[in-house]
């Protein structure tokens, strides 16, 4: 096919919105390579270079020449929305099929079949969907003119964000007709990742690799061990930092907490996480249009989010790898002469990173449990049924099944809603890969720890060398260092904030699958047998009160008066209605005095009577040893009963030290309500933490 240079430039100018725009170095060469069908191409260019222009312009030129639609594999919904908007500016008809727009699927599929879509964007997980493969992919496979794999580093065994379903692309690429064009793009690919991509995408893979240096970015690292210190630093610096930005956290909980703190200091910020739901697009637009100072985000707002004038990216904790960090910090300063990339390092990040690394792959024992349960079920098992057979968290079951199903050949396969064993056996290569990648991840984490210790001015060069780029062109930072000290009075206020946080406990509404036979209950929990929404003082072991709760339970065997005072304050601020008239607590055979003691002191502080009306019949394993909701419910079945004492009529506070699955509170409430009590308001010292 002949390449039309004038038309390509016209499309660039339309798409960018700049009538005098010209191609950046390497852009037009890549477009020509694809359009003329010169072979498969990998484009490795820094964030903001304009990789999307390459595939959108190539798509438009191919479609205008009568070729079929393009298929783009893209990992994040935020990225898809940005891409569709960019495509529309140059007249490319783009659409997406993803988990957030199920109502639109039929319409998108119809348009695709009628030739009214130029490029279809999907997530890699869609490739594992039987319906999509059978009803969409198989129908359009022969028409596809180009396959685009965005964020192609995810194909690597471990790129920035290990997405298991990217492994399916290896099989798809190998089955492609020779005339189908293939373009892979990424901003982060060191030599190891490049070798992985060459192996998957083909030995004759062409590579367009640009300079990784970002002269606009001033990078700095600051070690502030405590969360209170980092909260104080953020409040200080956000008041003087110009422009708008992103503050990255490692966990959803931290994103919510940091956003809440900054709001109390008067900043217009919002949290953006995997739990943001249908507000994601609204929040992306709010940052794009400068309606918020910053989004406090997890990696849910990561690859591909494009706001060229972001003036800062701050990390509240250290990410797990150089690849991840370069990808995230690269959101800043794309269209600015100068921007900050600040990494704050804290003491909890080591434990968080270790948890992510340890949980990335199932253990041999977990795999054996899942396969053993499936072996005993001739007709297969659904995920809820597996939860009743194996004592593993749902997330671990999901991950085990997903990874096993992506093996070739796979030892498990899905038939309808149930998973079944196949004749294939799990290869030892699976475990060799898991061990190799786990060690690789640990090495990448050590690399980031070295990065944190670098003096000012050496960070960009370190990142580029770690990504196997040329660091010879690195220049001095354009901006001065930001202060590393924090106002101690503000630290004190941050500690107060952390200690006044309370967390909601939502009531369960349905008994576990199969019910609880000893209690004779199943299905929906009657509304007058459910607890009211409750409150927990803190997260177990977390900043604020969490460490004191852990110390009281594990070391002192008594909760401090400070915790009682904090709970009393929390309850008075909460002011549940109808107002509780008495207090009770959850019994324990293992620690018979621990919770009653704190419940009695809380009752005294509130001026309410305490009545111990529930007892535990048998010593069951601790709830924290029960790994999923079904196991936790069954563990309790029949173990809690009335102790014969009269149950006062009237609203009651139900006290426990920690809540995880909420089944203990659910069963205790059912006993209280079905025996004459009024509304039940659960109160716990803590929610289960990551280390408990």
How far from chain centre, in Å, is Cα 681? 31
pLDDT at 204: 81
CA dist 197 → 54, 204, 207, 432 (Å) = 19, 11, 10, 20
Residues 535 and 457 placed together within one structural domain of the fold: no
Q: Which of 150, 177, 209 is the last residue of a domain?
A: 209
Question: DSSP secondary-structure letter at 376?
Answer: T
pLDDT at 692: 35
Contact 678, 650 (CB under 8 A): yes
439 found inside a domain: no
Question: DSSP secondary-structure letter at 336?
Answer: S
Residues 619 and 506 placed together within one structural domain of the fold: yes
What angle is formed at CA 301 by the lines to CA 58 and CA 322, rounded to 5 degrees? Answer: 85
CATH at residue 382: 1.10.10.10
Q: Which position has the higher pLDDT, 609 or 438?
A: 609
pLDDT at 183 over 90: yes
493 found inside a domain: no
Residues 195 and 224 placed together within one structural domain of the fold: no
Residues 108 and 124 placed together within one structural domain of the fold: yes
Q: Which of 209, 240, 267 is the last residue of a domain?
A: 209
CATH at residue 634: 3.40.50.2020
Length of the chain: 692
620 found inside a domain: yes
Residues 203 and 111 placed together within one structural domain of the fold: yes
Residues 193 and 321: their CA atoms lie apart, in Å, by 13
pLDDT band at residue 63 using 50, 70 and 90 as cut-offs: very high
438 found inside a domain: no
Contact 186, 152 (CB under 8 A): yes
496 found inside a domain: no
pLDDT at 467 over 80: yes
514 found inside a domain: yes
Q: How many domains does the chain have?
A: 4
Q: Give the mean pLDDT of 503-511.
A: 93
Residues 164 and 261 placed together within one structural domain of the fold: no
pLDDT at 689: 64
Residues 475 and 509 placed together within one structural domain of the fold: no
Burial of 261: CB neighbours in 10 Å, binned 0-12, 13-18, 19+: buried
CATH at residue 292: 3.40.50.300
Residues 362 and 386 placed together within one structural domain of the fold: yes
Per-residue pLDDT reduced to its tens digit, 131-170: 888 888 887 888 899 999 988 888 876 544 457 788 788 8
pLDDT at 60 over 90: yes
How far from chain centre, in Å, is Cα 87? 27
Q: Which alpha helices (H) appear in 40-165, and where do they start and end?
A: 51-64, 77-89, 105-113, 130-132, 138-140
Residues 397 and 334 placed together within one structural domain of the fold: no
Residues 679 and 574 placed together within one structural domain of the fold: yes
* Residue labelled with tokens 């941050």: 494
382 found inside a domain: yes
565 found inside a domain: yes
Q: Give the mean pLDDT of 261-287.
A: 93
pLDDT at 77 over 70: no
Q: Give the mean pLDDT of 40-64.
A: 92
Range of the structural domain that residue 108 is part of: 5-209
Residues 265 and 247: their CA atoms lie apart, in Å, by 16
Q: Give the mean pLDDT of 436-450.
A: 91
pLDDT at 691 over 50: no
Contact 197, 191 (CB under 8 A): no
Residues 387 and 473 placed together within one structural domain of the fold: no
357: Cα within 13 Å, side-chain hemisphere = 21
The residues, ordered by sequence, that sit 6+ positions from 605 with a Cβ below 8 Å of its Cβ are 564, 565, 568
Q: 503 phi and psi, to 5 degrees?
A: -120, 145
Q: Give the mean pLDDT of 561-571.
A: 96
Contact 661, 391 (CB under 8 A): no
pLDDT at 303: 66
Residues 147 and 71 placed together within one structural domain of the fold: yes
Mean pLDDT estimate for the chain: 90
Q: Which position has the higher pLDDT, 116 or 156?
A: 116
pLDDT at 157: 64
Task: Report CA Rg, the chain.
Answer: 28
Q: Give the mean pLDDT of 363-386.
A: 94
Q: Which of 209, 231, 250 is the last residue of a domain?
A: 209
pLDDT band at residue 542 using 50, 70 and 90 as cut-offs: confident
Q: Give the mean pLDDT of 400-421.
A: 92
pLDDT at 46 over 70: yes
pLDDT band at residue 304 using 50, 70 and 90 as cut-offs: low
Phi-psi category of 567—alpha, beta or left, where left has phi over 0 and alpha has psi -120 to 50? alpha
The verdict on whether omega for the bond into residue 170 sits within 30 degrees of 0, i.e. cis, is no
Strand partners, 614: 642
Share of residues in the chain with pLDDT > 70 (%): 97
Q: Give the mean pLDDT of 480-498.
A: 94
């Amino acid at each position: 096919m002949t390449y039309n240079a004038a038309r390509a430039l016209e499309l660039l100018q339309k798409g960018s919105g700049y009538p005098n725009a010209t191609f950046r170095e390497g852009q037009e060469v890549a477009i020509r390579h694809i359009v003329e069908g010169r072979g498969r191409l990998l484009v490795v260019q820094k964030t903001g270079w304009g990789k999307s222009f390459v595939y959108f312009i190539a798509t438009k030129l191919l479609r205008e020449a009568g070729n079929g639609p393009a298929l783009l594999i893209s990992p994040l919904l935020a990225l898809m929305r940005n891409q569709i908007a960019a495509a529309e500016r140059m007249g490319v008809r783009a659409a997406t099929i993803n988990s957030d727009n199920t109502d639109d699927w039929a319409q998108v599929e119809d348009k695709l079949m009628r030739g009214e879509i130029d490029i279809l964007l999907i997530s890699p997980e869609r490739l594992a969907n039987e319906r999509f493969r059978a009803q969409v992919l198989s129908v359009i496979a022969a028409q596809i003119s180009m396959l685009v794999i965005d964020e192609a580093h995810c194909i690597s065994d471990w790129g920035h964000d290990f997405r298991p379903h990217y492994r399916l692309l290896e099989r798809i690429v190998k089955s492609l007709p020779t005339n189908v064009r293939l373009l892979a793009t990424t901003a982060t690919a060191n030599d190891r990742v490049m070798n992985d991509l060459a192996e998957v995408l083909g030995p004759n893979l062409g590579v367009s690799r640009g300079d990784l240096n970002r002269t606009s970015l001033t990078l700095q690292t600051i070690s502030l061990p405590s969360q209170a210190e980092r909260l104080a630093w953020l409040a200080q610096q956000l008041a003087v930092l110009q422009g708008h930005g992103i503050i990255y956290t490692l966990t959803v909980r931290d994103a919510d907490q940091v956003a809440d703190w900054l709001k109390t200091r008067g900043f217009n910020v919002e949290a953006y996480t995997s739990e943001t739901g249908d507000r994601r697009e609204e929040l992306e637009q709010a940052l794009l249009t400068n309606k918020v100072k910053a989004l406090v985000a997890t990696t849910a707002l990561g690859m591909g989010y494009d706001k060229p004038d972001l003036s800062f990216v701050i990390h509240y904790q250290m990410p797990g790898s150089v690849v991840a960090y370069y990808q995230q910090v690269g959101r800043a300063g794309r269209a600015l002469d100068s921007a900050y990339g600040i990494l704050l390092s804290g003491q909890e990040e080591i434990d968080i990173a270790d948890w992510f690394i340890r949980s990335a792959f199932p253990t041999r024992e977990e795999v054996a449990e899942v396969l053993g349960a499936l072996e005993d079920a001739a007709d297969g098992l659904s995920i809820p049924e597996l939860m009743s057979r194996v004592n593993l968290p749902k997330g671990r079951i999901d991950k085990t099944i997903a990874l096993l199903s992506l093996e070739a050949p796979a030892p498990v396969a899905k038939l309808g809603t149930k998973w079944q064993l196949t004749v294939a056996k799990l290869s030892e290569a699976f475990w060799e890969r898991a061990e190799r990648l786990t060690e690789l991840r640990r090495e990448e984490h050590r690399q980031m720890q070295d990065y944190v210790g670098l003096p000012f001015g050496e960070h960009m060069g370190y990142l580029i060398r770690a990504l196997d780029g040329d660091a010879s062109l690195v220049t001095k930072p354009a901006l001065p260092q930001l202060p590393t000290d924090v106002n101690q009075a503000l630290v004190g206020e941050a500690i107060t904030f952390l200690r006044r946080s309370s967390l909601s406990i939502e009531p369960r509404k349905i008994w576990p699958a199969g019910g609880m036979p000893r209690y004779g209950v199943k299905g929906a929990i009657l509304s007058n047998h459910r607890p009211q929404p409750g409150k927990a003082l803190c997260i177990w072991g977390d900043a604020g009160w969490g460490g004191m709760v852990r110390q009281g339970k594990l070391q002192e065997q008594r909760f401090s008066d400070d915790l009682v005072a904090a709970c009393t304050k929390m309850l008075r601020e909460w002011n549940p209605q109808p107002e509780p008239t008495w207090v009770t607590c959850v019994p324990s055979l293992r620690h018979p005095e621990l919770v009653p003691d704190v419940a009695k002191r809380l009752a005294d502080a509130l001026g309410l009577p305490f009545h111990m009306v529930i007892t535990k019949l048998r010593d069951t394993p601790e709830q924290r040893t029960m790994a999923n909701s079904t196991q936790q419910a069954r563990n309790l079945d029949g173990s809690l009963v009335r102790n014969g004492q009269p149950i006062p009529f009237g609203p009651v506070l139900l006290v426990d030290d920690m809540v995880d699955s909420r089944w203990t509170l659910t069963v205790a409430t059912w006993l209280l309500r079905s025996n004459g009590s009024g509304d039940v308001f659960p109160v716990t010292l803590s929610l289960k933490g990551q280390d408990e």
